[in-house]
Amino acid sequence: MVGYFRDNADLGYYFQHGIDWASLMPVLELAPGSGDGFKDAAEAVQLYQEVAERVGDFAAHEVTPHAAEIDREGVRFAKGEAWFPERLQSIFDKVAALGLHGLTLPRELGGMNAPMLLYLVNCELLARADISVMAHYAFHTGPAMALLLFSLQEGSTQLDVESGRVEATRWRAAIEEIARGEAWGSMDITEPGAGSDMAALRTRAELDDQGRWRVTGEKVFITSGHGKYHFVLARSEPLAAADDLKAGLAGLSLFLVPAYQDEPDGRRTRFVSIDRVEHKLGHNGSATVALRFDGSPAELIGKRGDGFRQMLEFMNHARLSVGFESIGLCEAALRLARAYAAERRSMGKPIDQHEMIADYLAEMEIEIVSLRALAMDAAYHDELGQKKLLFGRHLARDEASRVALEREARAHLARVRRLTPLLKYQAAEKAVEMTRRCLQIHGGNGYMREYPAEKLVRDALVMPIYEGTSQIQALMAMKDTLGAVLKKPRAFAQRLAGARLASLSRLDPLERGVARLQHLSLSAQQHLLTRTFAAKIEDLRRRSLPPWHGWMKDWDPKRDFGFAMLHAERLIRLLADEACAEILLGQARRHPERRVLLERFLERAEPRARFCHDEITTRRRARLEAAVEVTHHALVDKLAAE
Ligand SMILES: Cc1cc2nc3c(=O)[nH]c(=O)nc-3n(C[C@H](O)[C@H](O)[C@H](O)COP(=O)(O)OP(=O)(O)OC[C@H]3O[C@@H](n4cnc5c(N)ncnc54)[C@H](O)[C@@H]3O)c2cc1C
């Protein structure tokens, strides 16, 4: 079997042409050709590709053959610890031996100074083999990088300004331990009573008599939570009012809580106890645990009250990796479905020659290409944005270059902020859709445990749930998109008119197609805002003495954006298709051999965008009231039954 990188021409495109690696080099290697860096971009890309090939080979030959066994055996809970089965442990010993855990860390901290983009490609390759292996892999690199970044942000890392090398950093020992594969981290947010609603988190952090932080509370569903280094979101500031969303979030701080210490005599002293390993539908090789903190010693990261912002930063990276993870699942589903459909015959021919099945497979293929384009674009801009920000803040030689670097960084990061929820939403939803389609193509066999299709569905179902549900991604995208329109209404009107004109006047039919998609998206946004404004004015008219003065400032998201919230998921679908089309158009302009991909994408994206647009623009506000009414009746029925 060919490895998962070598058999994937679309992935190869990004290493050969699709990514502008030369533009990444100045932020990856400060002084090319000096020290242990690369002599030029070509040499670096060659090494990155070799790493991706090795990981792809490893995934295909050493993970996939054991995926069913890993799923069957799961993770054991005994003597207060979660235990990996031998097979999974041996896979992780090999991952460590390949040096993958520290891949993106600076060389002086035991890493290879590779781009995060390479790490994300590895996430896709490993996810194609087994989702649990990928998830646990991510909880090495992710926390190690986060420790370094948070330390840079709070000013507890010293860099050599000439070489950019790390001279000292607050969590050096932990970072190096993780890079060696001897420890890993986890992100502890969710509690029994709060997941999406972080303002409702109740785990407490308090200072003891000696001025040390102690964390007390319960966290559930924590992936790789049997690890050592826990990023814990806890309430360090008192809650002024129970329902004040902002106060709820502003009272949160981020802590590093080491869960245990291994003593020289081999005993383990635990500061955080594992209550149980959760029983899940899928992801069985991944240790998802419930944790109890009981005055556990903790270190404050950064400033008090800054936890929500810091965790969002961490989560945004994690959302990018869920995007790549979901693409890996989609790729697995496509390959499995394609192989089965080519072999299985019905009504005198292989089932892949029946029109419907052929169409399913063709659709899966083009959807994966478009998702990967979105993912790669987001990852590329994230790399540039994050690194330019760090360079600007810590290594700029003068004020002018600091200002220039930070301005460039902000532009890249604004793009990442736009693309991340679209990627997380679209890739996660497609993973569910495609794995289900793969099962369907397997017919009755698909439903049987002997075939790998059902495992893919079980594993995929969590993609739209963790790292922020699909609904939360939709709300974030809606808020950012409409907020941007409100900030610059004139620019929005120009874009709307420009898209309309381009959809009619561009000579290239593909450019016209992309402009039509943009116009559908912009016109849906216009409709949502018009209806929101109309409702607001209606609300003001109903008041006896309308407070017209300052009414624009008097916006309450819960009250005034109900109509936009109703349509947030339709809007995010439109936005995701629009973004994919724009990125594929950019690729087609640079590399005409990709035009055919854009053509195939538009053929499917345009009708579904029209459908979402029509649903948004033709559903009346009355429907919203009716929907809320139905929920109310359901509640009344429930209360009556009780
Ligand atoms: C396998 C697995 C691994 C996980 N790993 C981790 C981890 O490592 N760390 C961690 O902290 N957590 C983890 N989680 C928890 C996960 O992040 C949460 O389950 C998720 O954020 C949703 O929170 P919840 O379960 O409380 O659902 P709720 O917040 O109760 O949501 C229930 C439903 O309501 C919807 N909803 C909620 N609010 C709104 C709204 N305003 N508008 C519209 N719809 C809304 C949600 O989208 C969802 O569909 C994991 C979960 C699973 C299943």
> Which residue has its alpha carbon closest to ligand 1 atom 29?
196
Percentage of residues in the chain with pLDDT exceeding 70?
91
pLDDT tens column, 198-229? 999 999 999 999 999 999 999 999 999 999 99
Tens digits of residue pLDDT in 96-141: 999 999 999 999 999 999 999 999 999 999 999 999 999 999 999 9
Contact in structure between 19 and 380 (CB atoms under 8 Å): yes
Q: Whose CA is nearest to atom 11 of ligand 1?
A: 189
CA dihedral 95, 96, 98, 104 (to 10 degrees): 100
CA-closest candidate to residue 431, choices 353, 334, 531, 561: 334
SS (H, E, C) 511-567: HHHHHHHHHHHHHHHHHHHHHHHHHHHHHHHHCCCCCCCCCCCCCCHHHHCHHHHHC
CB of 465 shorter than 6 A to ligand 1: yes
Local structure of residue 359 (DSSP, 8 states): H
- Residue 481 CA to residue 419 CA, distance in Å, equals 11
- Ligand 1 atom 35: the closest Cα is on which residue? 471
Higher pLDDT, 535 or 626: 535
Cα separations in angstroms, 180 against 92, 98, 102, 339, 639: 11, 10, 7, 38, 56
Q: 73-102 as b/e, with b when 16 or more CB fall inside 10 Å? A: bbbebeeebbebbeebeebbeebbeebbbb
Average pLDDT, the chain: 93
**pLDDT tops 50 at residue 486:** yes
Residue 561: the pLDDT is 85
Q: Tens digits of per-residue pLDDT, 335-383?
A: 999 999 999 999 999 999 999 999 999 999 999 999 999 999 999 999 9
* Residue 572 CB neighbour total at 10 angstroms: 26
pLDDT at 247: 67
Q: Please say if the pLDDT value at position 459 is more than 70.
A: yes
- Taken in order 350, 355, 359, 360, is the CA torsion positive or negative? negative
**Residue 614 CA to ligand 1 centre (angstroms):** 30
Ligand 1 proximity of 514 Cβ (cutoff 6 Å): no
pLDDT band for 625, please (50, 70, 90 cuts).
low
**CA 436 centroid distance within chain:** 21
Could you tell me the two tokens for 463?
């993609």
pLDDT surpassing 80 at residue 55: yes
Report the residue among 196, 243, 279 best suited for mutation to probe ligand 1: largest number of ligand atoms under 8 A from its CB. 196
Tokens of 602: 């538009």
pLDDT value of residue 32: 45
The answer to whether residue 639 scores a pLDDT higher than 60 is no
Q: Is the pLDDT of residue 442 over 60?
A: yes
CA distance linking residue 183 with residue 161, whole number of Å = 30
Q: Where are the alpha helices (DSSP H) in 352-452?
A: 355-390, 399-441, 443-446
Q: pLDDT at position 627, please?
A: 62
Q: Is the pLDDT of residue 430 over 90?
A: yes
Query: Ligand 1 mean position to 227 CA, how many Å?
Result: 21
Cβ of residue 288 lying under 6 Å from some atom of ligand 1:
yes
Is the model's pLDDT at 1 over the cut of 90?
no
Burial class (CB in 10 A: 0-12, 13-18, 19+), 363: middle
What average pLDDT does this structure show over 152-158?
96
Q: Could you give phi then psi for residue 217, rounded to 5 degrees? A: 155, -170
SS (H, E, C) 171-203: CHHHHHHHHCCCCCEEEECCECCECCCHHHCCC
User: Residue 457 pLDDT > 90, yes or no?
Assistant: yes
What per-residue confidence (pLDDT) applies to 243? 62
Is the Cβ atom of 203 under 6 angstroms away from ligand 1?
no
Name the residue at shortest CA distance from atom 17 of ligand 1. 466
For residue 211, give both structure tokens. 């001025």
CA of 465 to the centre of ligand 1 (A): 5
